[in-house]
Amino acid sequence: MAVAGHLVPALAAPIPGFPGVLGAGREVLVGYNIVPVEWHARLLIAWIEADWWIIVTPEGDVYAEMISLSNQDLVGFRVRPMDLTLPMGIDPNSVHDFQHRPDAVALG
C-alpha cells in the first residue's frame, strides 16, 4: 500500500498523520493509468474484502472499487493525510477532488 510515496505493509504501526492507514472515513487518491496521470479522490465508506472498498467519488457516486496496485486501471494510490493536504509528489493540477466533502448525515 502506498503512503506519501512509500510502500508500507497493511498492518504497519500507525504513521503520524495516517492513523490506521486505510479505513472507513479515510480518503485516498487513485492515479489512473492514462497520460497524463489523473489523480481522483475517493472517500472510503466500508471495507468489503481483500482490496475492495465501497467508495464515494467527488460527484457523489457510490460503488465498489479495488484500491490496490492489483487494479490494472491504476498506476498507484496514495493515502491522504488526515489534514487532507495532497501527498508529496502529487501535482494539484492533476487532482479531481471533492468540492464539498460529504458529512456523516449525507452518507447516512
Question: Is 0.95 topped by the overall pTM?
Answer: no
How buried is 98 (Cβ within 10 angstroms: 0-12 exposed, 13-18 middle, 19+ buried)?
middle
Predicted local distance difference test score (pLDDT) of residue 100: 87
What's the rounded Cα separation, in Å, for the pair 22 and 10?
8
Predicted local distance difference test score (pLDDT) of residue 64: 96
Strands (E), the chain: 2-3, 6-7, 27-32, 38-49, 52-56, 62-66, 74-79, 95-96
Tens digit of pLDDT at every position of the chain (108 positions): 343 443 333 433 444 444 457 888 899 999 998 899 999 999 999 989 888 999 999 999 999 999 988 999 999 999 999 899 999 989 999 999 999 887 765 666
Tens-place pLDDT, residues 3-22: 344 333 343 344 444 445 78
